[in-house]
Amino acid sequence: MRRLLLRSTLAAVGATLAIFAVPLFVVAVVVSTAPPERRADIVRVTTGLQGVMLLTGLILVLMLLGLAVGWFVAQRRSRLLGDPLTELAVRAERLGAGESRFMPLNSGIGELDRISDVLSRSAHQVTRNLAAERDFAADASHQLRTPLTALLMRLDEIASTDDLAVVQEEAQVAIDQVERLSKVVDDLMGRTRVSDPTRPSVSLDAVLASLQREWQPAFAASKRSMRIHGERGLRVRATPVALAQILSTLVENALAHGRGTVDIAARRAGPSVVVELGDEGAGVAPAIAPHIFERSVSSSGSGLGLTLARDLAEDNGGRLELVSTQPAVFAVFLSEAE
């Protein structure tokens, strides 16, 4: 930009000086090359009152012409700098007003183009941050909904019974749900996409037993059942809260969209442990099946939960797959703990 300003100033001054220098140079050449008698005529013309007035008029004309040319050159050169600055300011204002896209400016002025590139990168980063915040809000809403729903079921059971033993049992389960809810909140606040090599060893039997206790009232209210079977004594590498959230999402999905008994089976498969969950419903529509784990896929509300469940499985070194569409069977693959 400094070079452009310097060139613009020199161009305007140079054009003004040229208006004076070129005529004077022409006159000097004419006088020096003219024959002696012709030079004498020129001297007579330029002396006296008439000569002074002629030279004064010529100088005034040259001054005005020089100012006009200098102004024209300065205007042209100022547009080279002013127009990109104005355009950059307009784009920055649109960015500040909430426009998510910022088209980089290609003005040919290094400093302005660098500022434009910085604004473009900042706009891209802001857009990504806003998208991540929206996703986080949606994720938090869904992950908190399941334990809150289970807690509400337990409180309903307590409110509808006079049996002190049942009240104590349900209250203890409700306390467990509150603790789980607290862990879910902690997990959300410290959530990271980086794999954790120090994932704890968790008993799959304990997680499944807790899952069955949690969802038993909901299945009883729907006059449906949940069957858990398979190998016992399995331990996997996963965060207990995350594993419970994955399986709860699948159970909730089967309860909401499936029919009949929800079947959960655990088994070894090489170095992995597989937990398969299916039901007796019609399954997943062929049009939805390839996109079942994509965010915002319309599946009567199940798409976001399955997306979260898949992400949680990946965060814990495993994966979640739809292994059968009719009937729907989901499989969670986890690393076995020694």
- Give a yes or no: residue 89 inside a domain: yes
> What pLDDT, in 10s, does the model give residues 185-205?
666 666 544 444 567 899 999
In the numeric block, the tokens 């400093």 are attached to: 111
* 93 shares a domain with 200: no
C-alpha neighbours within 13 Å on the C-beta side of residue 177: 24
pLDDT average, residue stretch 10-33: 65
Mean pLDDT confidence for 218-227: 90
**Residue that finishes a domain, picked among 99, 124, 149:** 99
pLDDT at 154: 73
Token pair belonging to 208: 């499944």
| CATH code, domain with 315 | 3.30.565.10
- 146 assigned to some structural domain: no
The residue range of the domain holding 41 is: 2-99
Q: Are residues 204 and 330 in the same domain?
A: yes
Measured CA distances, 199 to 133, 308, 337 (Å): 26, 19, 10
Q: Would 216 be classed as within a structural domain?
A: yes
Those residues with Cβ within 8 angstroms of residue 211's Cβ, 6 or more apart along the chain or in another chain: 228, 244, 247, 248, 251, 264
CB-count burial class (<10 Å; 0-12, 13-18, 19+) for 249 = buried
Number of separate domains in the chain: 2
Residue pair 266/231 in contact (Cβ under 8 Å)? The answer is yes
Q: What's the N-to-C CA distance of the chain in angstroms?
A: 66
Query: Does residue 148 fall inside a structural domain?
Result: no
Q: Which residues pair with 244 in a beta bridge?
A: none
Mean pLDDT score, 59-71: 70
- Distance, in Å, from the CA atom of 243 to the CA atom of 318, rounded to the nearest integer, reads 10
Last residue within a domain, chosen from 64, 99, 134: 99
Residue 172 lies in a domain: no
Which helix (DSSP H) or strand (DSSP E) does residue 219 occupy? helix 204-221
Percent of the chain's residues with pLDDT above 90: 18
Within-domain flag for 77: yes
Q: Are residues 196 and 94 in the same domain?
A: no
* Secondary structure, 3-state, 131-185: HHHHHHHHHHHHHHHHHHHHHHHHHHHHHCCCCHHHHHHHHHHHHHHHHHHHHHH
pLDDT at 297 over 80: no
pLDDT, tens digit (0-9, with 9 covering 90-100), for 104-144: 677 666 666 777 777 777 776 666 666 666 666 666 666 66
Q: Which one of 99, 129, 161 terminates a domain?
A: 99
> What pTM, to 2 d.p., does this model score?
0.48
Mean pLDDT value across residues 245-265: 90
- Evaluate whether residue 329 is within a structural domain: yes
Tokens of 202: 């968790």
Q: Which residue has the tokens 């400094």?
A: 2
Paired residues of 228 in beta bridges: 264
Q: How many CB atoms lie within 10 A of CB 133?
A: 10
- Domain-embedded: residue 275: yes
User: Do 88 and 202 belong to one domain?
Assistant: no
Q: What is the pLDDT of residue 198?
A: 62
- Is pLDDT at 36 greater than 50 in this prediction? yes
CA-to-CA distance for 187 and 184, rounded, in angstroms? 5
pLDDT, position 158: 80
Bridging pattern class, strands 272-278 and 319-325: unpaired
Q: What is the model's pLDDT at position 39?
A: 61
The residue assigned the tokens 């996409």 is 193
Same domain, 77 and 204: no
227 or 155, which is more confident? 227
3-state SS assignment for residue 276: strand
Residue 149 has pLDDT above 90, yes or no: no
Report angle CA 240, 229, 247 to the nearest 5 degrees.
Answer: 35
Euclidean distance between CA atoms 131 and 165, whole angstroms: 48
Which has the closest alpha carbon to 327: 292, 276, 284, 275?
284
Contact 275, 332 (CB under 8 A): yes
